[in-house]
A = this chain, B = another copy of it.
Amino acid sequence: MSTPLDPITTLVEYLHFPSISTQPEHAKDLVACAEWLAGLFKKMGLTATIHQTAGHPILVAKTIPDPQKKTVLIYGHYDVQPPEPLEEWTSSPFEPRIDEKEGKIYARGSSDNKAPTLAHILGVAKTLQEKGTLPVNVIFLIEGEEEIGSPHLDSFLQEHRQELSCDVVVISDTGMAPGNLPAITYALRGVAAMEFIVRGPACDLHSGLFGGAVANPLTVAARLIASLHDEHGHILIPGFYDTVASPEPWEQEATKALEKASGGDASIKKLAGVEELFGEAGFSTLERIGSRPTAEVNGFGGGYQGAGTKTVLPKEAFVKLSFRLVANQDPKTVLEQTASYLRTQLPPGVSLKIIPGHYGEACFIDPESPNGKAAQEALAETFGTPPLLLRDGASIPIVTHFKKIFDVDVLLLGLANPDCGMHSPNENILLENFLNGIRLSEQLLKRLSQT
């Protein structure tokens, strides 16, 4: 490669692809986008292979492996969310627009995940351009189905585990901390989902002729939901908290630092669109989201759903329930504890059908491990301030896949600004974050080579 790649020009090119994975009419755009990436890697001197899957292709690019060096796998995705509703965009989602005053570039996929992925690619390109070599072996794994749940990634990792063997995984698909401060996400909550169906009479009954004589499945379902929490938001399922660890002193410090930096409850209220927050007594909001487990009703239904009134005593009701879990809680045990607890509370004349759903363990990546420390140092060096340590309340299954299959640390170094509008109209990224990302990548590979 004779001349260095211009970061902004390259980003604008990348953002032009309408690589919308959920819309079948864009399948060819995903292929074109993967091919464009492959061309870029080849220009940089890496090998690049486009692997077909039953869905959209997975791209693997590698430097020539040196057995003396550690191997870093950098994961990203080139697919994007649909841009709809189009009328809410101030510029066309696939015609990238730079706002000089804001210092942002607007386009679908800008923050999720094209600019962060490209920052890592250009960081590698820059080092190769300047030094001719990298301090580590690098494998880029960039898929095209992240926005539709990565249906083919797990099996791909299994099949290519030898080829993709690595010492550490780096993912920049989360966000910067509130205030656009640098951060490492060191914990993700687990998840356990279930549905239960309360069944009563053989058919819907007349609420006049039978009301008072039989247990109403909707009332029973509501009472079961109500039995999950006490009035202070504590979960009442016996054994539920048994394995929940209290945050370590350093975690409490990290949370306090984050609260101070982030604008606290006021900014969470604004993000959630509520006038007041509510949660488990005895914990701060960030603790409730990050380090405490929850039980949330995701949906319920039963009986008459139309306009006005129908005085029916319905035969059944359903409740969809999911738990967010924290380290050491076993999802299967939680589902079993919940099933047992619900069954103890049934009045006569109703039955309970429990349908277990998907689940995944909570995940913890020690930010004080050698790799974690290397990442912290790279962030501090790049941004001029030590990173905040984040617990993310969500569950990211790909992280668990990487941890399970390769048994390595997964470093989550978000580059998206908090107001990036990921998944929403007018998605954007601060150009400063993108350019810092290139520097971060250089720093990170250097420091990871030394652990």
Q: Which residues of A contact B (CB under 8 A)?
A: 189, 191, 193, 195, 200-203, 205-216, 218-219, 221-223, 225-229, 268, 271-280, 285, 288-289, 292, 294, 296-305, 308-314, 317, 320, 322, 324, 347-350, 357-358, 392-395
Contacts and interface: CB of A to CB of B under 8 A. Distances in A.
B309 A211 contact: no
23 contacts: A191-B208, A195-B309, A200-B274, A205-B272, A207-B296, A209-B393, A212-B280, A213-B268, A213-B272, A214-B278, A221-B222, A222-B222, A222-B297, A225-B226, A226-B226, A275-B349, A278-B347, A296-B311, A299-B310, A300-B303, A301-B301, A309-B358, A311-B322
A300 B278 contact: no
A169 B229 CA distance: 54
B211 A296 contact: yes
B357 A219 contact: no
Contact of A203 (B203, B273, B303, B347): B273
Contacts of A350: 278
Given A210-B393, A279-B212, A201 B273 contact: yes
A187 to B, nearest CB: 12
A385 B300 CA distance: 51
A210 B312 contact: no
Contacts of A292: 212
A171 to B, nearest CB: 16
A23 to B, nearest CB: 19
Contacts of A214: 272, 274, 277-279
Contacts of A210: 268, 271-272, 289, 393
Contacts of A317: 300
Among the interface residues A214, A227, A292, A310, which one has the most CB atoms of the partner chain B within 10 A?
Answer: A214
Contact of A218 (B225, B277, B289): B225
A272 to B, nearest CB: 5
Identical chains bound together, number: 2
A352 to B, nearest CB: 14
A330 to B, nearest CB: 18
B296 A216 contact: yes
A391 to B, nearest CB: 11
Contacts of A347: 278
Given A208-B393, A226-B223, A275-B349, A311 B297 contact: no
Contacts of A212: 279-280, 288-289, 292, 294, 324, 393
B303 A299 contact: yes
Nearest to A202: B273
Contacts of A206: 394
Nearest to A287: B212
Contacts of A357: 308-309
Nearest to A223: B226
Contacts of A394: 206, 208-209
A409 B227 CA distance: 48
Nearest to A228: B219
Contacts of A203: 273
Given A229-B219, A312-B298, A324 B213 contact: no
A200 B274 CA distance: 7
A300 B273 CA distance: 24
Contact of A208 (B209, B278, B320, B324): B324
